[in-house]
Amino acid sequence: MSLFKEFLKGIWEKNPVLVLSLGLCPTLATSGSMKNAVGMGLSVIAVLTFSNIIISLIKGFVPSKIRIPCYIIVIAFLVTVVDMLIAGFAPELSKAIGLFIKLIVVNCIILGRAEAFAAKNNPLRAALDGLGMGIGFLIAISIIATIREVLGANKWFGFTVVPGWDPIGIMILPAGALLTFGLVMAVRNVLAQRRAK
Amino acid sequence: MKTILHYGLVLLIIAGVAGVGLSFVDNLTKGPIAEAQSKRLEEGQKLAFPSASSFGELKKLETDGKTIEYYEVFDEGKNVIGYELLYSVGGYQSRIKVLTGIEPDGKVVAIRVLEQAETPGLGAEVDALPSNKSLLCAFVSLFSPEPEKEESNIPWFQAQFSGKSPEDLIVVKTKDPKHITALSGATITSTAVTKAVKEPIELFLKAKAEGKL
Amino acid sequence: MNLATAFLVIISVVLVNNFIFSRFLGYCPYIGVSTEKKSALGMGLAVIFVMTLASVVCWLVYHFFLYPSESNLFYKIFGNGQSVESFDLRYLMTLVFILVIAALVQFVEMVIQKIAPPLYAALGIYLPLITTNCAVLGVTILNIEGVTINGAQLGYGHPGSLLFGVLQGFGAGCGFLLALMLMAGIRERLALVEIPKPFRGMPIAFLTAALLAIAFMGFAGLVK
């Protein structure tokens, strides 16, 4: 597979959220506003890319029987670094989504890519895979956050979209997140079926 | 036995490197984290009492089983012209911390919500600025060369508290300049913020009258 | 703390602040294991068990090793003359907690296998999955911040009280079991229904969960 394809597959064909249904909790929890969603997406990109690189580099050194704890340590290290940087330089974001930043540790996308891809490929390919998957995550979470924030709060990145329109409050609440996610997945299925024909 | 040693060693090395790395990053970010916190407090202090020239040390008042933290507010001649009360209550899904500037008789000067993590789009609107700036305007202003006019940076919900006496701090759902108008769809948050303003004022005034300060 | 408060904590975390329907924790196993009631029950019980244990162990580790205070063990042993602050290891929290949970799950698996083989046969396959259940790590971190009932925090302070933490861990597990069983019951019936093709599988599961979440919104305000 060419390097470019390696990067591209995470965005549509194997989109971690919409196709593989990994990393659901942060997608649902932080998609109430675009600001939070983009913060989350960028954090995942950073952690995923670097964890893929590091794990690909140490794969020869780690015995296969204890590889999972080793990967978890690497991921927890990166997550804590990102968490501290956000607390230092974007305190408001940290207050809003801090718990879910910490929970990137148990995000199945990261461990899944480490196990399925980084542990078998060279650092360059692993980095591209991580970057692509991360961007796929960012795109998916942004789509959901856009739908929820526009319909639920009549805003996008905090700016009013249609002045004077009363939004549908439930889209911001947990139920709205599940509803949006289910519908977006269904739409993606329709599109994929069309392409397959 | 040999394999166990080998495994232990590998784990130990990785965990050790991670631990040392983290303590290094912790040292780097400790400063900015503390700075961000104290900056937010300082800004809040100025906004909650714009006419103040300096503030006293943080003091604690224990009364009726509750703890209120407060600062004395000074004018240029070091006379006490009011107080700032720091109080937190539970909101809809997070802890809300409010700084309230009051005159000695308990009238609110201004308030500032220092910390909250309420639902975006509903409760989190306590921090929403009054400008109803639409997406289109924001997009256009990106390309316009002249700098924007400084708009008021006090959220409209918090601005309502200014100049009110504690007995007027009642949440209502209609637009009513005498009381506090609730955020639409976020009554719990609105009530919580109001409680975080009203409760410490009443406790503080009572303690002050009893000479407990 | 009296019995009524304890009851309130449990009710609050099971119904009002249900981890699945209002906090978004634990979705991967929730969607993955809710296709039939039998496996949902096994997974739910395993989660209750691990969450309660993890709440206790993580609190103890935080209190005695990470948080800088008089009772920090590192301070007690090596602390002669140094300030308490220099033993602040809170930045290791995420790393330590996830390792504790992973080790705990492994340990529980071994113990159950030895002393209760029938239980192991029922729960065994779900145990390894729990390590990556973010509800478990989530509850241990939330415990450190104190227990929230409808926004008002009980046992607040650093770290929040152990007893509240354990109750919250146990309650969160029960809430997870409840959500999982409800979902499994519905999905077992959904399997017999003709569903439009694009909605089959995941999407319909999410729409069902959305309706359940709306139903659970009715519990808001139950605990005052």
Span C77-112, pLDDT tens digits: 887 777 777 778 888 888 999 999 988 988 888 888
pLDDT score of B206: 86
* Structural domain contains residue A98: yes
Report the chain A residue with the minimal C-alpha distance to residue B128.
A158
Whether the Cβ atoms of residue C9 and residue C164 lie closer than 8 Å to each other: yes
Helix (H) or strand (E) holding B160: none
Residue A43 near chain C (CB below 8 Å) = no
pLDDT at C208: 93
- Pick the residue with more confidence: B73 or B132? B73
Number of domains in chain A: 1
- Chain B residue numbers with beta carbons less than 8 Å from the beta carbon of A155 are 121
Res C39: pLDDT: 84
Which is more confident, A92 or C47?
A: C47
**Which residues on C lie below 8 Å from A111 (Cβ)?**
132
Q: Is A85 on the interface with C (CB under 8 A)?
A: no
Query: What Cα–Cα distance (Å) separates residue B156 from each residue in A159, B111, B126?
Result: 15, 11, 8
**Are A91 and B36 a contacting pair at CB < 8 A?**
yes
- The ipTM estimated for the assembled molecules is 0.86
* Domain shared by B102 and B8, yes or no: no
Q: Using CB atoms, which chains have 3+ pairs under 8 A with A?
A: B, C
Q: Which residues of A touch B137 (CB under 8 A)?
A: 159
Picking from B22, B26, B192, the nearest residue to C151 by CB comes out as B192
Question: What stretch of H or E contains A94?
Answer: helix A91-102
A39-53, B114-128, C149-163: segment of lowest average pLDDT: C149-163
Residues B85 and B100 in one domain: yes
Portion 144-163 of B in contact with A at CB < 8 A: none
Percentage of chain B exceeding pLDDT 90: 1
CA angle at C12 for the pair C59 and B188, rounded to the nearest 5°:
115
Q: Are residues B8 and B78 in the same domain?
A: no
Query: Which chain A residues are within 8 Å of B130, Cβ to Cβ?
Result: none
Instruction: Return the residue in C17, C99, C148, C219 with the most chain B beta carbons within 10 A, the one to mutate for interface testing.
Output: C148
User: Which chain B residues have any C-beta within 8 angstroms of a chain C C-beta?
Assistant: 15, 18-19, 22-23, 25-26, 89-95, 188, 192
Contact pairs from chain A to chain C, CB under 8 Å: 113
Stretch C33-62: mean pLDDT: 89
pLDDT surpassing 70 at residue B145: no
Determine the residue of chain B that is closest to C153 in CA distance.
Answer: B90
With respect to residue A20, please indicate whether it lies within any of the assigned structural domains.
no
C127 vs B25, more confident = B25
The band of C157, judged by pLDDT with boundaries at 50, 70 and 90, is very low
CB neighbourhood size of C68 (10 A): 17
What pLDDT is attached to residue B11?
86
pLDDT of residue A172: 86
Place of tokens 């509240």: C164
**Closest to A178 (Cβ–Cβ): which among C26, C198, C210?**
C210
Average pLDDT over residues B124-151: 65
**What residues in A contact C26, CB-CB < 8 Å?**
25
Q: Are C8 and C118 in contact (CB under 8 A)?
A: no
Answer yes or no: is A26 within a domain: no
- Asked if pLDDT for residue C46 goes beyond 60, the answer is yes
- Res B132: pLDDT: 56
d(C-alpha C145, C-alpha C208), whole Å: 32
A contacts of C31 (beta carbons < 8 Å): 21, 24
- Interhelix angle for A67-89 vs A108-116, to 10°? 140
Say whether both B113 and B141 belong to one domain.
yes
Residues of the domain holding B157: 49-145+153-209
Label residue C156 by pLDDT band (50, 70, 90): very low
User: Two tokens at C1?
Assistant: 């703390």
In which domain, by residue range, is A41 found? 3-12+32-196
Angstroms from A161 CA to nearest CA on chain B: 5
Cα-flanking dihedrals φ and ψ of residue C22, to 5°? Answer: -125, -10
- My answer on whether B103 and B1 are in the same domain is no
Taking 50 as the threshold, does the pLDDT of residue C180 lie above it?
yes
Residues of chain A with pLDDT under 50: none
Judgement on whether residues B104 and B116 belong to the same structural domain of the protein: yes
Contact A80 C207 (CB under 8 A): no
pLDDT (tens digit, 9 = 90+) per residue, B65-113?
Answer: 777 888 888 888 888 888 888 888 877 777 788 889 888 888 888 888 8
Closest-CA distance of chain A to residue C11, Å: 19
Domain final position from B27, B46, B65: B46
**Structural domain includes residue A156:** yes
In a domain, A22, yes or no: no
Number of domains making up chain B:
2
Contact C95 B89 (CB under 8 A): no
Predicted confidence (pLDDT) at residue B128 exceeds the cutoff of 90: no
Between chains, do B95 and C151 touch, taking CB under 8 Å as contact?
Answer: yes
Return the higher-pLDDT residue of C185 and C202: C185
For residues A17 and C223, what is the distance between their CA atoms, to the nearest angstrom? 35
Question: And the tokens for B167?
Answer: 């007995």
The pLDDT of residue A178 is 93
The answer to whether the CB atoms of C137 and A103 lie below 8 A apart is yes
Tell me the mean pLDDT in the region C9-36. Answer: 85
